[in-house]
Amino acid sequence: MKAIRVHETGGPEQMKVDQIDIPPPGPKQALVKINTSGVNFIDIYFRTGLYKADAPFTLGMEASGVVEAVGEGVSEVAVGDRVAYAMTRGSYAEYAVVPSATLVKVPDGVALEAAASVMLQGMTAHYLSHSTFPLENHHTALVHAAAGGTGALLVQMAKMRGARVIATAGSAGKAARAKAVGADEVILYAEQDFEAEARRLTGGAGVDVVYDSVGAATWEKSLGSLKPRGMIVSFGNASGAVPAVQPLVLSTKGSLFLTRPTLASYCATREELLWRAGDVLRWLAAGTLQTKVHRVYGFEEAAQAHMDLAGRVSAGKLLLKP
Ligand code: NDP
């Protein structure tokens, strides 16, 4: 089978289309014939070496497909089931072996391509808005990169929960996208001081929570946008990792809370996974949740997909097809 592998971490040119054997599923594993793989920022972190893996490794943390074979002791899925998953590495391939407990069945009304576009980013938006800082209708949230894959889903879920959403976006086109998915206000953070704007838009009070996936470039002003006892949810590093933090800063800015969450900890049990994936796929089928595919790339175009995501070209979901 074909698999996109990294032998040495570095730039997009390090992604090689290799021919390797189809792996057999072991106990409690299923072999999935991949229909569509999602492209996510985490793939860039693994490719560049920010997140560690032993080389050579196959990229990709999200996919949909059909179960081709199962190992011993698999009860969650059967051969022929349409399934989707996130957070097992190796989805940029024609086949992937996945722990069966991480697979969810894709409902009849949902296309496999659509399922692949919401598993990782949709469940992330779900835990951020429902669990890390459970939004309520009296809250104001600042959502960075709101036209992005995760950002646009987070805006929609924040609105479902009744919160006011102040969004940031890198261009007028992206601002329009953030508005279209429900943001109440959008700040063009490349041109405007988003901290001053967030303060102005809240009458000086500051926001209850900042969902910050941009990282190094926004960190300081994100802290400055919060009201006393607000929470900064630092969940990504699109502009680079946040530098070391002095806890005293949280005190001087008003007894702030800081968390650095990851999806794996918020899908800790099968029950939790089925709750989040179930909500996301049901909302998708009902049309309550919108996704926008930026582009579907072929395997030979995987490097281009990474350049488009890292280069802030994309707005929406990037997909990869074997
Ligand atoms: P996006 O589609 O959001 O793309 C990233 C966006 O970040 C860009 O489009 C851009 O939007 C913005 N951005 C700001 N500064 C930069 C920069 N210097 N370089 C590149 N992009 C920049 O990607 P994803 O939805 O895949 O991921 C978004 C973030 O969420 C990532 O940081 C990712 O690691 C994180 N994440 C974290 C998870 C977790 O559980 N912790 C799970 C899933 C995602 P604009 O032009 O509008 O500024």
pLDDT of residue 134: 98
pLDDT of residue 267: 96
Question: Which among 12, 273, 15 is positioned nearest to 120, based on CA atoms?
Answer: 273
**CA 73 – ligand 1 centroid, Å:** 38
Among protein residues, the one whose CA lies closest to atom 2 of ligand 1: 148
The pair phi, psi for residue 116, each rounded to 5°, is -65, -20
Task: Give percent of the chain with pLDDT exceeding 70.
Answer: 100
Question: Is residue 277 a contact partner of residue 251, using CB atoms and an 8 Å limit?
Answer: no
pLDDT of residue 307: 98
What residue ranges line ligand 1, CB within 6 angstroms?
40-42, 120-121, 124, 145, 147-151, 169-170, 174, 213-214, 217, 235-239, 261-263, 309-310, 312, 314
For residue range 61-78, list pLDDT tens digits in order.
999 999 999 999 999 999
The pair phi, psi for residue 182, each rounded to 5°, is 120, 0
pLDDT of residue 220: 97
Is residue 56 reached through a cis peptide bond, with omega within 30 degrees of 0 on the bond before it?
yes
Q: Which two tokens stand for residue 193?
A: 């001081």
Pocket test for ligand 1, best of 41, 219, 235 (most atoms within 8 A of CB): 41
Question: Per-residue pLDDT averaged across 264-287, rounded?
Answer: 97
Residues 6+ away with beta carbon under 8 Å from 284 = 110, 114, 115, 118, 122, 291
Q: Which two tokens stand for residue 192?
A: 């405007």
Q: For the residues of 240-285, what is the DSSP string, one character each?
A: -PPPP--HHHHHHTTS-EEE---HHHHS-SHHHHHHHHHHHHHHHH
Question: Which among 250, 190, 191, 200 is positioned nearest to 220, based on CA atoms?
Answer: 250
Max Cα distance, the chain (Å): 60
Question: Per-residue pLDDT averaged across 289-318, rounded?
Answer: 96
Residue 152's pLDDT band (cuts 50, 70, 90)? very high
Domains of the chain: 2-117+291-321 (3.90.180.10), 122-263 (3.40.50.720)
- Cα 187 from chain centre: 21
pLDDT mean across residues, the chain? 97
Q: Which residue do the tokens 């707005």 mark?
A: 315
pLDDT of residue 238: 94
Looking at ligand 1, which atom is closest to the CA of residue 150? 25
DSSP 46: H
For residue range 209-241, list pLDDT tens digits in order.
999 999 999 999 999 999 999 999 999 999 999
Q: From CA 254, how far away is CA 136, in angstroms rounded?
A: 21
Among protein residues, the one whose CA lies closest to atom 9 of ligand 1: 312
Residue 25's pLDDT band (cuts 50, 70, 90)? very high
